[in-house]
Amino acid sequence: MEDLRQPSGLFFVLLGAILIGVSFTGATAPLLEINLNLYTGLFMLVFGGALLWLAKRPS
């Protein structure tokens, strides 16, 4: 079976980068006072980086 950590990590890193980029355009959720796109993007970026790090580790 193929290791899914690398493609999943790349997906989360890409999605996190997109959300962080969108957060700087001023697009926010209308009912929230916080910038949810920024915090979600940062979490996805860290999670994707962890998956990529785990994929590169020797077994």
Tens-digit pLDDT profile for residues 24-58 = 887 777 888 888 889 999 999 999 999 999 999 88
**Which amino acid appears at position 20 of this protein?**
I
pLDDT of residue 1: 43
Among candidates 14, 15, 19, which has minimal Cα distance to 39?
A: 19
* pTM listed for this prediction: 0.85
Is 38 in contact with 10 (CB distance < 8 Å)? no
Which token pair is 59?
């077994």
pLDDT of residue 35: 87
Taking the C-alpha atoms of residue 3 and residue 27, their distance in angstroms, rounded to an integer, is 36
Listed in sequence order, the residues at least 6 apart from 22 whose beta carbon sits closer than 8 Å to its beta carbon are: 37, 41
